[in-house]
Structures are given as structure tokens and as C-alpha cells.
Amino acid sequence: MLVYRIVLAKYAGKLIASGRAARWNPNEVKMIYTASSRSLACLENVVHRDKMGLSRIFNIMTIECPDYIKTKTIHLKDLPANWADFDQMSKSQNIGLKWIKDNETAILQVPSSIVEEEVNYLLNPNHKDFKLIRVIKTQLFVFDGRIKQ
């Protein structure tokens, strides 16, 4: 399976988890966010950046996750109706925290909070199978100037 991640160019090439709080992890819990497509990776970035932030130098990483690596899936039907609301983020963070602590899989498939019918893949850098996941390509990524005009 190929997944995609858009990062500032200085962070491209290596799979690095910052540990900063986000949708599926509380602060200081490290996981790497990837998307199932380039366009979803773009959307996931756009919602978190202003126009100036989109003008920086980015790369898109193509990441190969071997199909034989076990993946856990969080289904949309198993989440509360309002799970994507900002004030409900602790619910999804608790799910991610439990996944990291249980350390059962290197990959967690989750619904996108932007396009619920699409999925993102979280990578667990602490799992033994994480070493099998690799960046196979990085290339310049420029956000279209019409975004957030």
C-alpha cells in the first residue's frame, strides 16, 4: 500500500513524529499522519495552514507500507456522531493513545475528519514493523495559488 505525507521540505525523506497534539494523539504521543491519496494529504494540510503557511517549501513523500503488515481499522460507524468536532477531539485522541499503548499494529486506518468517506493512515514509530515502512520517493509539492486566496 502506498500512502502520502506532505511536510516542510526540511523534514522530507525521514518519517519523523513530532509528538505535538493532533486529531488522533494527545501531546507527547508520537505517531505519523499519512493520507490514502495525494489530494487528501493536500486537504489535510490546507485546513491547518493559512495562506502564508502554504507558501513555504513543501515536499510530498510517497511511503510504502508492505501489504503483509497488520493494520487496525477504526470504522466511522464506531465513532460518536460528532467525533470530528474540535471540542470532541479528546475522544479521537484517546483512541489513538490506546492504539499506541497497546502497540498491536504499526498502522491504524482512520476516517478523515474532512472527507469522512476517505481514510488516513497513522503510523506507530514504536512498533516492531515500523522499520518495514519506508519512504520511496520525495518530490517538491507546491500548493496551488488559488487555495485560500
Q: Is-contact 25 96, C-beta < 8 A?
A: yes
Residue 73 C-alpha cell reads as: 481499522
CA triple 20-126-128, angle to 5 deg: 155
Question: Which pLDDT tens digit goes with each residue over 36-81?
Answer: 999 999 999 888 777 666 778 899 999 999 999 999 999 999 998 8
Question: Which pLDDT tens digit goes with each residue over 138-149?
Answer: 999 998 888 766
Q: How far apart are CA 19 and CA 113, in angstroms?
A: 20
Q: Is the pTM of this model over 0.85?
A: yes
* CA terminus-to-terminus distance, the chain: 34
Q: How far apart are CA 29 and CA 17, in angstroms?
A: 9
Q: Mark 6-40 as b/e (b = at least 16 C-beta within 10 Å).
A: bbeeeebeebebeeeebbbbbeebebbbbbbbeeb
Could you tell me the residue ranges of all domains in the chain? 2-141
Return all residues near 27 (Cβ < 8 A) that are at least 6 apart: 19, 20, 21
Question: Which pLDDT tens digit goes with each residue over 80-132?
Answer: 889 999 999 999 999 999 999 999 999 999 999 999 899 999 999 999 999 99
Runs of H (alpha helix) within 24-88: 38-46
